[in-house]
Amino acid sequence: MTTPTLLRRADALLRDLPEPEVPAAAAWRSRLAIVTTFGALYGATMGSYGERPLQATYSALKLPLMLAASFAISLPPFFVANTLFGLRDDFRRVVGALATTQAALTLILASLAPVTAFAYSACGLDHRRAVLLNGLMFAVASLGAQVVLRRSYRELIAARPAHRAMLRAWLAVYVFVGIQMGWVLRPFIGDPGLKTQFFREDSWTNAYVAVWNMVAGVLSGS
């Protein structure tokens, strides 16, 4: 896909323009292209902290991987649940709407990349602040992607209200898996004090247990 086409597709996705008669396969290709290209763009920016090209390359690979893997693992139970609640006929459109939302998320992230890069270079953030900054960017992008999600789900919910409950269940499972996926694929930003690695050796732990231990540590005052 050429760059002008990709940008045109991305623009159409954001502005909800009716795409000019694209066959289903092409629509999927363009969503995938958007997620990988723009996801990699933000990943690279995120990993450019401390100006280490290797970390930037790793993060560029890992961000689209994180989104795609969480999506793929969460899909089977969603498929079975949709079937059980009589929504199987809409499943293609539903997955399309969810994939469009993912694409929108990466587009918003990519649009925030210059801000992140500016903050890295201009503010001299320490590693912890850099992590917080990126967390903020992801929060903004997730909120923005909600607009696209709502838009693409509106018709589905109007036709069959059961879609609303299904969507909530999807978000719960996807976030639950996605948080752990992000945790496992650390480091995205990379502490300059540590060696650059694709995976941390100690990263195969559980995000929720780690967070709980942190909270328990704070509460017990240690």
Partner 1 sequence: MAIVEADREGDAAWAKGFRDLDRILRGELTRLPALRDGEVPVAPGRLTWVVVGLCMAYGACMGTFSLLSPQGPGLMQVVASMVKVPLLFYLTLVVTLPSLYVLNALMGSRLSFGSVFRLLSASLGVNVAVLASMGPIVAFFSACTTSYPFMVLLNVAVFATAGFLALGFLLQTLQRLSIARTLTIATDLAADDEAPGAIHPLTDQYAGRRVRAIFRVWMVLFGLVGAQMGWVLRPFIGDPSRPFAWFRPRQSNFFEAVLHALSAVFS
Residues that bind partner 1 (CB under 8 A): 72-74, 76-77, 79-81, 83-88, 162, 173, 177, 180-181, 183-184, 203-206, 208-209, 212, 216
What is the smallest separation between the CB atom of 97 and partner 1, expressed in angstroms?
19
CB closer to partner 1 out of 132 and 210 = 210
CB closer to partner 1 out of 162 and 171 = 162
- Quick check: 1 and 33 in contact, CB under 8 A? yes
CB closer to partner 1 out of 85 and 138 = 85
- Quick check: 125 and 119 in contact, CB under 8 A? yes
Tally of CA atoms within 13 A in the half-sphere of 172 that contains its CB: 8
CB closer to partner 1 out of 111 and 205 = 205
What is the smallest separation between the CB atom of 34 and partner 1, expressed in angstroms?
25
CB closer to partner 1 out of 111 and 197 = 197
Name which of 194, 149, 193 is nearest 170 in CA terms: 149
What is the smallest separation between the CB atom of 2 and partner 1, expressed in angstroms?
35
Peptide bond into 187 cis (omega under 30): yes
Q: Using CA atoms, how far apart are residues 122 and 130, in angstroms rounded to an integer?
A: 12
What is the smallest separation between the CB atom of 184 and partner 1, expressed in angstroms?
5
What is the smallest separation between the CB atom of 82 and partner 1, expressed in angstroms?
9
Place of tokens 């893997």: 69
Q: What are the contacts of 195-204 at 24+ separation with CB within 8 A?
A: 196/52, 196/54, 196/55, 196/58, 197/58, 198/58, 198/62
